Amino acid sequence: MSYILSQDNISMSMSEVFWTGLYSSLIGFAIAIMASCYKSKCSKIDVGCIHIERDVEAEEQIDQNPIQSNSRL
């Protein structure tokens, strides 16, 4: 059984590569933003209609003592 590559098949695979790359990049960018937000020391964040208030001091203690915080689980 022979398979002949047509222009439609090639363009479809190139389109899939483009969309896969685009989605992967967007997900990577979102993860990088979340990591940056986690490492920031802001206790209140207001973005549009989203309001986040967090306990930064408790997070610092957990980051400084990861072994002790895991033993509580």
How many angstroms separate the CA atoms of 18 and 61, rounded? Answer: 43
48 and 59 assigned to the same domain: yes
Percentages helix, strand, coil for the chain (3-state, rounded to 5) are: 65, 10, 25
Q: Which two tokens stand for residue 41?
A: 């020391």
Same domain, 35 and 23: yes
Number of domains in the chain: 2
Do residues 12 and 28 both lie within one domain?
A: yes
Residues 55-67: what's their mean pLDDT?
73
Model confidence at 39: pLDDT above 80: no
Mean predicted lDDT score pLDDT of the chain: 76
Is 32 in the same domain as 48? no
Range of the domain at 69: 41-73
pTM for this model (two decimals):
0.52
In angstroms, the CA 42 to CA 53 distance is 9
> Do 56 and 73 belong to one domain?
yes
Same domain flag for 67 and 47: yes
Same domain flag for 30 and 48 = no
